[in-house]
Amino acid sequence: MTQEYTIRDQVVCKGQGVGEIIDIIARDNLDFYVLKMLNNKDIQVMVPTGNDSVLRSLIPRSEVPKIFSILKDKELSLTDERDNWNKRQREYSSKLKNGSIYDLVAILKDLKHYKGNKKLSFGEKRIFDQARDLLVQEISISEQVKEDEIGLYLDECLK
């Protein structure tokens, strides 16, 4: 079933972050949501309505404690450490693009584990930061708490 959104709804644009629907327009016999991305007010994204592969609803507040519980859990579901960086990077990039908040958590846990064993490469650090930023932004909006506070708590959970 396709999710319907209205103007002023905040949604996750998979791989991009949270955006607010500012308009719904028709072009070329298709309807589009026009989103203003919250992490960069200068960017507007047009997404065809009914395209659940690009947009999803924010995580419900009731699921946020589960996210933090998973982050605190020391058990890991690591990508194979023997895999080379290119293979792991492709896997992480795919997880970033699919938009699942649980995949963001998995990326953070994996890279935090690697960080404990060695210094992260530039590419690993970039993916870690991107996953962290997307997770912090979404939880912050869902919980209506400042991003700084969520970021500190998230970092504490990863220790």
What are residue 107's phi and psi, to 5 degrees?
-60, -45
d(CA 128, CA 10): 24
- pLDDT tens sequence across 128-148: 999 999 999 999 999 999 999
Contact between 158 and 71 (Cβ < 8 Å): yes
CA-nearest of 65, 138, 76 to 107 is 76
Contact 20, 9 (CB under 8 A): yes
Q: What is the pTM of this model?
A: 0.86
CATH 1.20.58.1290 in the chain, residue ranges: 61-158
Class of the 61-158 domain? mainly alpha
Over the stretch 62-118, which tens digit does the pLDDT of each residue have? 999 999 999 988 765 555 555 677 788 888 888 888 888 999 999 998 888 776 667
Length of the chain: 159
pLDDT above 90 (res 7): yes
For the chain, residues classed under CATH 2.40.10 are 10-57
For 108, phi then psi, to 5°, come to -60, -45
Q: Which CATH architecture group holds 10-57?
A: Beta Barrel (2.40)
Half-sphere exposure of 74 toward its Cβ, with a 13 Å CA cutoff? 2
Do the Cβ atoms of 137 and 55 come closer than 8 Å? no
Say how far apart CA 125 and CA 83 lie, in whole Å. 17
The model's pLDDT over 104-132, given as tens digits with 9 standing for 90+, comes to 999 998 888 776 667 888 888 999 999 99
State the pLDDT at residue 82. Answer: 54
Q: Which two tokens stand for residue 49?
A: 């309505």
Quickly state the pLDDT bin for 32 (edges 50, 70, 90): very high
CA distance 130 to 120: 14
Burial 7-38 (b: 16+ CB within 10 A, else e): eebbbbbbebbbbebeeeeeeeeeebbbbebb
